[in-house]
Structure 1
């Protein structure tokens, strides 16, 4: 596991009738490939992603680890802390990531916890719906379409003005799409040859012709 870096001020805790939420005015930084938290752990803090990409991981029906979702800047991660429940998934930094405690952004007073819980409940509902929809789409898609669906999900995890996106390794793609890494490599190589993907400034970043991605998604079975 990679080293975890946290820059913090003093810790303060506030307890509500529903849950104890850690109110820490700090930014937390995690290096790429390090775990932010793990499934089943008690949860005390929810975060807003300020920069970087995180993935949520679980175990599939075959007992294999799989990536179920990607989250980027502006997304809430660790909603369970606001609902008084243990972590639903493992959360891992895909790139170096900066997190801000969500609770520290909430307004003070009696309405704080109600507001936090309301947003968290909605975000959890949307997250689980998106995960389910993505897994159903994968189940009925070809390997090529699965990669295209992954690209579309990654688009949503990046800022709208981003000129390139982070691209998972072929093994991470395999863990996400339920294909082997050789198949993932073959599909990605074809997309580069078709100029759907363009080499980026870093080995793990690519430019994407989104018009072609959307056209291919409509055409691919």
Structure 2
């Protein structure tokens, strides 16, 4: 997560969380410590000696340790938090250029990102990536902003390429179709749909007869190099 520990990279395979202690204050680091108005501890630090605050170490009123990273204009660019109180930062939130909030979580404290969620300005979930061994294995997308994911993109063999798309095309909570690329050549080998909307996929095509679903209601393929920072 923070620069107080190991690697922070653009590759989720290499992304790691911080250690149990924050970056030590060097002789060139300016520190200002106070008690915040919300009752928690707060320590602002100028880590590069340019006269402006770069990071703010603090505890929330709930007692959770938190680090806020600040740019030269005073804007918070990244917030890291130890939500379970075990001494390591397991959650990182950052604002994206498109206005969404990106939240990365290490759910099992192994130093690797397990879940990446994207929230819109109202706090609604628009996309969620599940990560295993540095690979995005499932992406859930809410394409119509109703608060429910209606597209699931899977990488079932964890080779870094999506091979299965499952969709709820009429947004009623029932799966309407599924397309699978079995051999990884980029072509759909198996396509199944629910013709009567009873919740069971009952129409199936294979091989050359398998037709790709309309991509207008689909989701972008999850990228294994999603810039996970935690």
State the TM-score, normalizing by the size of structure 1. Answer: 0.27
Bigger Rg over Cα: 2
State the TM-score, normalizing by the size of structure 2. Answer: 0.27
Higher normalized helix content (fraction of residues): 1
Q: Which has the higher contact order (CA 8 A, sep 6+)?
A: 1
